[in-house]
Structure 1
Amino acid sequence: MTAVGTVRRRLFGIPSAKAVFSRPGFAPEAWERFAPVACSLMEGYHAALEDPRLSVLAARLEAVEDPLKGFAFEGAGMGLAALDAVTPWRRRLDAFVAGPGAPHIYPVYVGVGLAYARLGRTPESQLARLDPLLGWVTADGYGFHQAFFKRRRHVEQHAVPTRLTAYGRRFFDQGVGRALWFSSGAMVDRVARLIAGFPSDRHADLWSGVGLASAYGGGADEAALRSVLTHAAAYRPQLARGAATAAWGRLKAGNQAAHTDLGCEVFCGRSGSDAAAVVEQAAHDLPVISVEPAYEIWRRRTEDRLMA
């Protein structure tokens, strides 16, 4: 670690992943089931702070075992976005996304959204410098952060973020749904009870986050995933899209996982590779100019094809 990296780690580092999971409202099972996920994300975040040079950072991230590698890249995205905020002329994130982070762009952008939340920036104000299609994913990371670290306001009081557009709030809610899955330790009844407390017009996006988190991060066996499907039967298209998106992201990065295949089999009725292919095909020929965001067209196409 360089001397500058030591200072950055001391200023911006997070002392303990376990302490985060010990916050009020978190289920005891959360740390038991997701400690490797949290530690991998933390490893990526601190790696970026300690030495953001691409060759050094990429080597550290690639050393993480495959099922957890995406979380390490997510942490790196968070760290690089934080560094760019301090020294905006460096644009480390751009170089990372164009280089070693390219196959992992989805989790990297989730991490960028985490950084925006910590920095007090709104994701939509930064869209112009991000990938025109996937930039919206930062609002998911933003929502995850708020539900994870400001739980009372955003989970118990169901606060609506006023600094996001109506469309941005949909991604925010997807991030909240992911946070509910991890903070509840994949305890399905608990997740369902929390979602039921939100206004009904937010349920579809919350459940899409559960589908994404449960397929990408695991934590549940087949019986538990089928229980998710029972609780959220009306939102199966969103669950399926979430799981398929997880499979698509893992396929692009080459870090497939058995629990992602299981999520796709339960929610999509097909293998992870087949579900990922649906997501990829749905992205073909998206309009360059449209009143409706291209990402929304992609999401709706994916749901329609998964349910066909």
Structure 2
Amino acid sequence: MHAVPPDPSGGEPIIEVDSLVRYFGRQKVLDGVSFKVYAGDTFIIMGGSGCGKSTLLRHLIGTEKPTSGSIKIFGQEITSMHPDAMHKLRGRYGMLFQSGALLQSLTVAENVALPLHEHTQLDAGLIDTVVKMKLEQVGLTGHGHKKPSEISGGMKKRAALARALALDPPLVFSDEPTAGLDPVMTAVVDELTQRLTQKIGATVVVVTHDMNSVFRIGTRIIMLGTGAHQGKILAAGTPAEIRAHPHPAVQQFINGDPQGHSGDDSGEVLYRDALLGLNDTGMYSRSAIHSSKP
């Protein structure tokens, strides 16, 4: 088993996962996953389709329970936590969903205000001030009155980022934050996430298969395996250590995976400023490159 090296500063972990196992029926999706995330990390969870990375994220945010093993966040064991305590804990982290998960019936500003209404006692005037500040930080000044259907995909991601950071949380989870974005907007979202989370001193956990993002923002990385290595940590370390990792599956994945194991369920993978699509043989190839929508 590959273990993520300890934090060189010797600080206490923000997240501690120990021997996490999850079965769905007879299928083992996560297999003895153990790692620690430390303050200031931008911790990347990557791997091919079906490796269990999204399942792992759902366990970290407390929406799924493991078959065995434990998860501690801020020193608190969450796998057996009472729902009321879990709700309180969720006020200490932000969540950026792959789809953005903006409520279509609300304006952009109302979406950003949701965690402030749910987890604070601020009055309406202060909430409005905070929302305006967060929208300004992500470049959406003047768009707060619009509905999600009236803004572009890149703007939706930025609005979702503003909502995730509305409480200035010490911990942020991000699920495929650049999925569906073109390379330019991918870089914008990465830069904004990095700059704003550093500004508030947040630790970030990102699930992604986007190699550009992995090496642009990651400080420590784990890669989950598939097939014979299903749900195991196949590689772990710093970006430089992952680049130099000797396992052929790791090299295949970070270099574009011509066998098609590095994609997600959409059948697309963003690699080196191009969106690769499946060709008619079921493999990723440069002949299947096509443009993504902004």
Same fold? TM cut 0.5 = no
How high is the TM-score relative to the length of structure 2? 0.32
Higher helix share: 1
Q: Which has the larger radius of gyration?
A: 2
